[in-house]
Amino acid sequence: MSERVIEVVAGVITDKRGRILLSRRTPNRDMPGLWEFPGGKREAGETPEAALARELDEELGIRVTVGAPLITVPQQYPSKRLRLDVRHVVHWDGVPRGREGQALAWVASDKLGRYSMPPADLPVVAALQTPDRYLVTPPPGDDDAAWLHALDDALRAGIRRVQVRLPGVPDDRRRTLLQQALARCHRRDARLLFNGAVEIALAAGAGVHLTSTALHDHADRPVPAGTLLAASCHDARDLAQATRIGCDFVVLGPVAETDSHPGQPGIGWTAFAQLRETCAVPIYAIGGMMPNDIPEARRHGAQGIAAIRSLWSG
| CA 6/CA 82 separation, integer angstroms | 4
Confirm whether residue 38 is marked as ligand binding.
Answer: yes
Kindly state whether residue 127 falls inside one of the protein's structural domains: no
Low-confidence ranges of the chain (pLDDT < 70): 1-2, 261, 314
225 and 291 in a single domain? The answer is: yes
Confirm whether residue 199 is marked as ligand binding.
Answer: no
219 and 290 in a single domain? The answer is: yes
What per-residue confidence (pLDDT) applies to 2? 53
Kindly state whether residue 208 falls inside one of the protein's structural domains: yes
| CA 206/CA 247 separation, integer angstroms | 15
Q: List, for residues 105-116, the tens digit of each pLDDT value.
A: 999 999 999 999
What per-residue confidence (pLDDT) applies to 241? 98
223 and 248 in a single domain? The answer is: yes
Confirm whether residue 74 is marked as ligand binding.
Answer: no
| CA 60/CA 37 separation, integer angstroms | 12
CATH number of the structural domain spanning residue 266? 3.20.20.70
What per-residue confidence (pLDDT) applies to 173? 97
CATH number of the structural domain spanning residue 112? 3.90.79.10
H/E segment holding residue 69 = strand 63-77
Domain encompassing residue 110: 5-116
Candidates 199, 128, 187, 127; CA nearest to 162 is: 187
What per-residue confidence (pLDDT) applies to 1? 46
Number of separate domains in the chain: 2
157 and 237 in a single domain? The answer is: yes
215 and 303 in a single domain? The answer is: yes
What per-residue confidence (pLDDT) applies to 41? 97
Query: Per residue in 27-66, is it b (16+ CB within 10 Å) or e — as a string?
Result: eeeeeeebbbbbbbebeeebebbebbbbbbeebbebebeb
* DSSP three-state, residue 209: strand
Candidates 198, 196, 232; CA nearest to 212 is: 232
What per-residue confidence (pLDDT) applies to 261? 65
Confirm whether residue 221 is marked as ligand binding.
Answer: no
Confirm whether residue 194 is marked as ligand binding.
Answer: no
Kindly state whether residue 125 falls inside one of the protein's structural domains: no
Q: List, for residues 274-307, the tens digit of each pLDDT value.
A: 999 999 999 999 999 999 999 999 999 999 999 9
Full-model pTM: 0.92
